[in-house]
Amino acid sequence: MAAKLGRATSDVNRGPRFLPLLAGCLAVLAAASPAVAGPRYEIEATLRPDESVIEGTATLDPGPDGAPAAPPLLLLYPQRFAARPPEFDERRARWIYPGGFDPGSLTITSCRTASGAPCDVALSPDGTTATVATPEEEDGPVTVGFRTRVPERFGAFGRDGDQLVLGGGWHPLLAARDPAGAFDAALPVERADYAVTLHLGPGWSAIVDGLGPYACGEDAAAGCRVEHSSAAAEPPSIVAAPAWHERSVLAAGVRVRVLSTESTRPPATYAVDAGRGLDPASVPDLWSVDRTGWMLDVLADALRVLDEEALLPPEDRRAGEVTLIVAPLRLEPTLGISGAVLVSDQAYELFPIEPFFRFLDAEIARAVTAELARGALPRLPLAEARWTAELIAAGAVERLAETAGEGGRRAEEWLKYGAFLPVIDQMIYAPTMQFRDTYYAAVEETDSLHDEVWRFNTDLPRGRRLWAKLRDRLGATDALAAAREILASGETLEAAAARAADADLADFRTGWLGRYPAINLRLGEWGSERLADGTWRTTIALSREGDPDAREFVTVRVELEDGTTRDEVWDAREPEGEIAFTAAAPASSVELDPESRVVQDPALVEENPRADDVSSLAWRLPVFDRFHLSLDLTTIANSEIDVEFTMRRRYDLHQFFRARFTREPRGIGGNIGYRYGFGPPRDMNRPSWFAGGWVEVFRHDEEFAVGDDGGTGSPTTMELGAVVGHDDRWFDLDPADGWYVGLSASGSFPIDPAGAARPWTVRGAGRGYYLWSPAPGHTLAVFGGFGVTFGEPVASQYEALGDRLLLAAIDPDEGLGRAKLYLVGEYRHLFSWDLDANLFHLAWLRGLQGVLTVGLGTTTERDSFDGMFGLERLFFEFGYGLRAFLDYAGVQTGLIALDLAVPLGFIDGRFGFLDRIRIDPEDRDTWRPRSSLFGIPFRLHLAFNQTF
């Protein structure tokens, strides 16, 4: 007989050892409202986490009595995980599935009516819905058998290691009814009454709807049983693991408890004195992050302030407890599920200074506030209660930041001081990091996986968008007044806004409860005219392109010549508009939407959509665009450093001014250049096509390729060149698909005084690559190119194959010639992307990738274009490399690359290892030994970028 479990009472560890066999009680969760006549579920299921399966039977009663009869329509939520999601792109794939795409499913195994008669189940073509056909004389409850396979997946529905998260919808759901009583799969699910009997195997502990954990001891051979019921509630959630550990805090009459599979870590010294940031004395304590203690301290302070601000529900309708569950979330730091809030197990993995933590503080406070608000809105439909609560929470946290003197702080304000670094520049204009919506206070939460059961089959947004649009419409003061009224009355947003702010929001739902409209804002002509009384009349023309039904209210910020700033609001519901005002000084600059609260669609323009929102594009700081350091660990003298700066205007994807410095075995030099970008942008910071030119001065190293007869001395040359190319790869860290091609032509001449070597050249070159991913975590790449040199070059101006980005096994001065061809293939395979190793708080090691490489190349002779493809001038390589993927400071992605390459070729007509470096394959006097290990020659490179 299975043991029946109840709620454990230990406040330290609710693991199996605290529950005697067969002891337990009935756990009942009662909603804050009386039961309503609606759907009813009786579910008996067995959870087998070891198999990633939950299966059983569900008796579904559409109710209420007297509703029009219709064939029940079932929503099969797990079937949305049967195919790769649209979010499964290069950047996000590894934050959705830890080991590559793994499908989930829900299979209907049987169907019976209340009388026991069989019923037919017809699946929709995509398998996400099912229609139940019952005998004509029976239209009551049906009992369906089901088997749900849980994918290996991060988020609110999946398994990662020993933790299984079912945020809801793990059983068949009844579709909601429309006003006519017909089932509609496009409507959000309804509140319902649930009676759940869950069977749990030995050694597992489950949290059901935020209650528990209910632990089944290892000695419970027959397993355990959890009984749970709820009224007018969401589909129940289950989170299971072998053991749970709990800590809690009490604030504003609410007990907030955090449940984690990790045992409590000893607090790091920087966190002991909460709110003080980094303590220098904590430097030796580099691995201990007391995330739970920090979270609880932050939440205690936040709840007390929000209570004083009347931004929590009244005490008589305020829940006495909120449960936070630490779970494997990777794209969203928090997510609300039935009865609880999930918090990412990678939250607070940042460099431990207080400004970094504050963004996550706000996100977790927002989630807890939303959970409290949701419980106080029992009269609203399920989905409406959810989005209304999130709207309130977004406004409450914004007010919380204002009371702390941090209102409006976003990541850009902290990052701008390091904007000369390329990773920082990319973070500001086209961020690719984890939790980016959190750091950038995104109005539209673009990284949401839509896992929430209350909105998974709809276009309903989360609350941050709704709060932003409400605030734009009413202003911050009236919007907060409406939020307080909702909490006090439990009424709808429209009723509360009418009462608190005398506002008419009749069109608010129509505009903002669906997909975000595709629009682009544009600043037109503007100017100021002096009036007779000495004041200035400023007029600004504005326009909106795209969706004709968009309902935006846009801030227009005007800087005046007397140093003052004026904010006006443009009602952008009309496609054309004008703002006019009188002031003491004329306008000096204009900017639309200065806080980026309007989401603009880049598909409507071939540039950053913000580029036409400002009167002038200010120059950005010079960006340290490239720091390419490639260390040849076998011959340090062959190492390369390449540093490049780019100057451009804010939001400008077209004009780039560049300066570059390079040191390589051939010599040392620098250039300045110009590039013009065009075509569809790769992202909001880079175009896909480019063309430009450069001027370079280079000092050639006379020690390069000693013994070569291509020139003497160390001449200095000037080179003029032009380039055109295409690059549609957008995730530089580990591109999975795309193609690149670049063609260049240049000419060089000497600038040394008379008497020195007088080299001159005309050169052409091309390089291209193609990427293809047959499966997530596996990428095939082919890249190659050519080079040709005419004129009278010195040794360092000949074409060569020796470079990490060409043939990594070949030395830079090996096989020089007038022309070259090369072709390289790579196979990249991901070992893991969830290592989560803290490296002194400076970086977190996230993933490890292997790279198998094969390549070949050939060059001509030095004094002619003969000899190409001759045996002595054919070079081959094979190698293997490792890529360590990092999150620097816990935020920006980067990598460290270590590549081992082995050279092969022909010597005296025999194919084998090239144990000699042959500057001139025909002249043995130029040969020298190559580094080797166990008789195998090799080169070893350490770098900080991929090979293409």
Which CATH number belongs to the domain containing residue 720 in this structure? Answer: 2.40.160
Provide the pairing of β-strand 837-839 with 819-832. Answer: unpaired
Provide the pairing of β-strand 205-208 with 53-61. Answer: unpaired
Looking at 221-225, 503-507, 837-841, which range is the least confident one?
Answer: 837-841
CA distances 27 to 4, 11, 40, 49, Å, are: 10, 18, 18, 22
Q: What is the pLDDT of residue 275?
A: 44
- Range 282-297 burial, b when 16+ CB lie within 10 A, else e: beebeeebbbbbbbbb
Task: HSE, CB side, 13 Å, CA atoms: give it for residue 191.
Answer: 25
CA torsion sign, 180 to 186 to 187 to 189? positive
Q: Over the stretch 326-349, which tens digit does the pLDDT of each residue have?
A: 999 988 899 999 999 999 988 887
**Average model confidence (pLDDT) across the chain:** 86
What are the DSSP calls for 779-832, one per residue? EEEEEEEEEEEEEE--GGGSB--BSTTSBTTS-TTSS-BSEEEEEEEEEEEEEE
Which pairs count as long-range contacts for 629-634, CB under 8 Å and 24+ apart, including other chains?
629/943, 629/944, 630/804, 630/941, 630/942, 630/943, 631/941, 631/942, 631/943, 632/939, 632/940, 632/941, 633/940, 633/941, 633/942, 634/931, 634/938, 634/939, 634/940
Q: What is the pLDDT of residue 294?
A: 85
Q: What is the pLDDT of residue 7?
A: 40
Q: What is the pLDDT of residue 287?
A: 52
Q: Is the pLDDT of residue 4 over 90?
A: no
Residue 914's DSSP bridge partners are none
- 498 with 534, same domain? no
Does residue 608 belong to any structural domain of this protein? no
- 210 with 356, same domain? no
Q: What is the pLDDT of residue 450?
A: 86
- 12 with 128, same domain? yes
Contact in structure between 566 and 583 (CB atoms under 8 Å): yes
Q: Pick 271 or 668 by higher pLDDT.
A: 668
Domain boundary among 245, 273, 296: 245
Q: What is the pLDDT of residue 853?
A: 98
SS3 872: helix
Looking at 337-351, 375-389, 407-421, 594-608, which range is the least confident one?
Answer: 407-421
Q: What is the pLDDT of residue 502?
A: 94
Q: Cis omega before residue 517 (within 30°)?
A: no
Neighbour-count burial of 840, counting CB atoms closer than 10 A to its CB (0-12 exposed, 13-18 middle, 19+ buried): exposed
Residue 99 — very low, low, confident or very high, per pLDDT cuts 50/70/90?
A: confident
CB atoms inside a 10 Å sphere around CB 364: 27
Residue 350 — very low, low, confident or very high, per pLDDT cuts 50/70/90?
A: confident
Domain boundary among 512, 547, 562: 512
Q: Is the pLDDT of residue 21 over 50?
A: no
- 253 with 241, same domain? no
Q: Is the pLDDT of residue 411 over 70?
A: no
What are the DSSP calls for 137-199, one per residue? T--S-EEEEEEEEPPB-SSSEEEETTEEEE-S--S-EEPEE-TTS-EETTSPPPPEEEEEEEE
Contact in structure between 762 and 790 (CB atoms under 8 Å): yes
- The CATH number for 33's domain is 2.60.40.1730
Residue 936 — very low, low, confident or very high, per pLDDT cuts 50/70/90?
A: very high
SS3 206: strand
Which whole number is the average pLDDT over 404-432?
55
Looking at 155-164, 278-287, 683-692, which range is the least confident one?
Answer: 278-287
Q: What is the pLDDT of residue 427?
A: 56
Looking at 218-227, 270-279, 337-346, 867-876, which range is the least confident one?
Answer: 270-279
**Residue 161, domain extent:** 3-245
- Range 569-606 burial, b when 16+ CB lie within 10 A, else e: ebebeeeebebeeebebbbeebbbbeebbbbbebeebe
Q: With pLDDT > 70 as the criterion, what percentage of the chain qualifies?
A: 86
pTM score, whole prediction: 0.84
Residue 151 — very low, low, confident or very high, per pLDDT cuts 50/70/90?
A: very high
Q: Pick 483 or 837 by higher pLDDT.
A: 483
Longest dimension (CA), the chain: 108
Which whole number is the average pLDDT over 135-152?
90
CA distance 901 to 854: 9
Contact in structure between 310 and 367 (CB atoms under 8 Å): no
Q: What is the pLDDT of residue 5?
A: 63
Q: How many Å is the Cα radius of gyration of the chain? A: 33
> Structure tokens of 33?
């409202």
- 470 with 494, same domain? yes
CA distance 539 to 360: 41
Which whole number is the average pLDDT over 835-861?
88
CA distance 904 to 713: 32
Domain boundary among 512, 536, 568: 512
Does residue 604 belong to any structural domain of this protein? no
Contact in structure between 791 and 762 (CB atoms under 8 Å): yes
- 653 with 635, same domain? yes
SS3 79: helix
Q: Over the stretch 729-741, which tens digit does the pLDDT of each residue have?
A: 877 778 888 999 9
Q: What is the pLDDT of residue 33?
A: 39
- 417 with 489, same domain? yes
Q: Is the pLDDT of residue 181 over 60?
A: yes
Does residue 613 belong to any structural domain of this protein? no
> Structure tokens of 404?
């702390």
Nearest to 948 by CA among 803, 817, 781, 750: 781
- 223 with 299, same domain? no
Residue 725 — very low, low, confident or very high, per pLDDT cuts 50/70/90?
A: very high
- The CATH number for 526's domain is 2.60.40
Q: Over the stretch 753-765, which tens digit does the pLDDT of each residue have?
A: 766 667 899 999 9
> How many domains does one find in the chain?
4
Residue 844 — very low, low, confident or very high, per pLDDT cuts 50/70/90?
A: confident
Looking at 186-190, 443-447, 571-575, which range is the least confident one?
Answer: 443-447
Q: Is the pLDDT of residue 64 over 50?
A: yes
CB atoms inside a 10 Å sphere around CB 137: 8
Does residue 824 belong to any structural domain of this protein? yes
Residue 643 — very low, low, confident or very high, per pLDDT cuts 50/70/90?
A: confident
Q: What is the pLDDT of residue 30?
A: 33
660 CA to centre of own chain? 31
Q: What is the pLDDT of residue 274?
A: 43
Nearest to 735 by CA among 654, 798, 626, 828: 828
Q: What is the pLDDT of residue 711?
A: 47
Q: Pick 464 or 54 by higher pLDDT.
A: 54
Does residue 50 belong to any structural domain of this protein? yes
Residue 639 — very low, low, confident or very high, per pLDDT cuts 50/70/90?
A: confident
Q: Is the pLDDT of residue 413 over 60?
A: no
SS3 101: coil
- 413 with 464, same domain? yes
- 51 with 115, same domain? yes
- The CATH number for 505's domain is 1.10.390
Q: What is the pLDDT of residue 26?
A: 31
- 292 with 237, same domain? no
Does residue 617 belong to any structural domain of this protein? no
Q: What is the pLDDT of residue 429?
A: 54
Which whole number is the average pLDDT over 777-794?
94
Residue 873 — very low, low, confident or very high, per pLDDT cuts 50/70/90?
A: very high
Q: What's the order of all strands across the beta sheet hosting 211-215?
A: 157-160, 163-166, 238-241, 205-208, 211-215
Looking at 141-155, 249-263, 376-390, 596-610, which range is the least confident one?
Answer: 596-610
Does residue 560 belong to any structural domain of this protein? yes
3-state secondary structure 526-594: EEEEECCCCCEEEEEEEEEEECCCCCCEEEEEEEECCCCEEEEEEECCCCEEEEEEEECCCEEEEEECC
Which whole number is the average pLDDT over 689-707?
87
Does residue 661 belong to any structural domain of this protein? yes
Q: Is the pLDDT of residue 8 over 50?
A: no
- 658 with 565, same domain? no
